[in-house]
Each structure stands twice: as C-alpha cells, then as structure tokens.
Amino acid sequence: MFRSRPGRTRAVTTALFAAASLMLTLGACGVDPLTPQEARGEAGTDDKAGDGARRVDCAKVTCIALTFDAGPGEDTPHLLDVLKEKQVPATFFLLGSKHVDRYPDVVRRIADEGHEAANHTWSHRILTDLDESEVRDELSRTQDAIEKITGRKPTLMRPPQGRTDGTVSDVSRELGLAQILWSITAKDYSTTDSALIRQRVLENAHRDGIILLHDIYDGTVPAVPSIIDELKRRGFTFVTVPELLAPGKAEPGEVYRPERD
C-alpha cells in the first residue's frame, strides 16, 4: 500500500504514482529517442565529456546508471552516506518546490560529492499538458534554484512521467537541457517493500540501463545497498548519466532512453 510522508502534496503524489508505469510513445510526437550506444557512436573517439568526469569507457565496461527522482527529501542524506561508502555515483533529478528550496544543503552536498544534479521541473506538472511559457517556467525556475545553490545550471532534465513532445523538446533545447528517460523501474511509488524494490531492479538490470528510483519513498533507500552490492557482484560499473553517454555529450533538446536487451 502506498504511503507518503506528511506534507507531501496530493498533486505531486498522484503524478508520481503514475510515473514510470505510463511511458509516452515518443515516436508519435515526432520525438525520436537516442540510446546511450548511439550517443557514444556519434562522438567517435573524441572525448567530449570534458568536465572532469571519470574516464569510464562504457563501450568496453558493463555500465549502469542509478538515478533518483523527485528529491531531495528526508532520506537523501542517508542515501548519500550509502553512495559515499559504496563509492557509487548517481544522477539526481531534483524537484524544485518543497524539495530544492527546502533542502539546499542536501542539493549542495549532491554536487560537492560528485553526483549529477539534474532538473525534474518545479512542481511536477505534466509538461505535455502545458503551453510553452508554462513549460519554460517549470524548467527555468528549477534551473535557477539549483544554480544558486551549486553554482552550475543542470544540463539534464527528466520530464514527469516521461511525457515529452516537440514543445517540451524546443524549450529544453533553449534552456540547455537534454531529456533523460529510463529503462529500469522498481515502481517504488507503489510499495514500501524494500525486498520487492530490490527484486524488481535486479530482474530488469541490463547493460547501459538507467535505473529509476525515488529517494522520497520509505522503502527505497533501504533497498539501495543490496542493489548496489548485487549489481557489482554481477560485474556492473555504476556511472552518472553523462558518463554513460561519454565520449558523447547529452545534447540539449534531445531525448535519451536505453533499449532493453
């Protein structure tokens, strides 16, 4: 049974409940996603990562990206402790209202500890339901809030529920944001069972995959240590999303989504 902590708005909870189970058919909107392999192939042998990122060659190493949506929250500091202990980088798609503005020290810590701080809109509105100015507001407010804390504007965003279209892509391009979807989900918005969350991730893990979890739900953070340990045992190397695409670079406006094996 889904439970959310007190103070979480019903609108955000409802929207997140549908996330990952409802994926828009991008081709129908004229938005063709690129895979990590395609991003790497387009770059050839030139290293475009260029921002001090670790040099991990995901063409040769079995990479997987761990991502967290809709935080930071109460459990994010403990999650960061786990990631630090396990020496695992992650990508955090941060929600502006009641998250970035409520936990600025946690946002700063995410960036300072080498994780990727990315954009998940200001209030988790479905972007394809909005007009151009509303899409711009949802994204730019979070861009500005994260930059104010970390000194750097995000280059990645994740549209709520994975819903995007031409307008969202155009605004993302204007704001310097690439759109990052996913290929592995535990549907952790629907359960507090950490063992089930672990099972769902491990059953679907694949090379060049992007794992979608939420660091705001009770069962998720407790599941992370054993997920990391088992995937490492299987030979996976954890990377941030930019590392997964390197030597390619996430291009503004483009949509990236791994293909399942």
Residue positions annotated with a catalytic role? 69, 214
What tokens were used for 127? Answer: 């972007």
Of 23, 20, 17, 15, nearest in space to 164 by CA: 23
* Cβ neighbours of 221 (radius 10 Å): 26
Compute the Cα dihedral for 101, 54, 33, 23 and give only its sign: negative
Judge contact between 124 and 15, C-beta under 8 A.
Answer: yes
Calpha distance 242→249 (Å, rounded): 7
Judge contact between 71 and 98, C-beta under 8 A.
Answer: no
Calpha distance 121→81 (Å, rounded): 25
Cα dihedral 7/73/208/230 (nearest 10): -110
* Cβ neighbours of 74 (radius 10 Å): 15
Residue 97 region, left (φ>0) first, then alpha (ψ -120 to 50), else beta? Answer: beta
Judge contact between 15 and 126, C-beta under 8 A.
Answer: yes
For 206, phi then psi, to 5°, come to: -150, 160
Q: Which residues pair with 21 in a beta bridge?
A: none
Radius of gyration of the chain (CA): 17
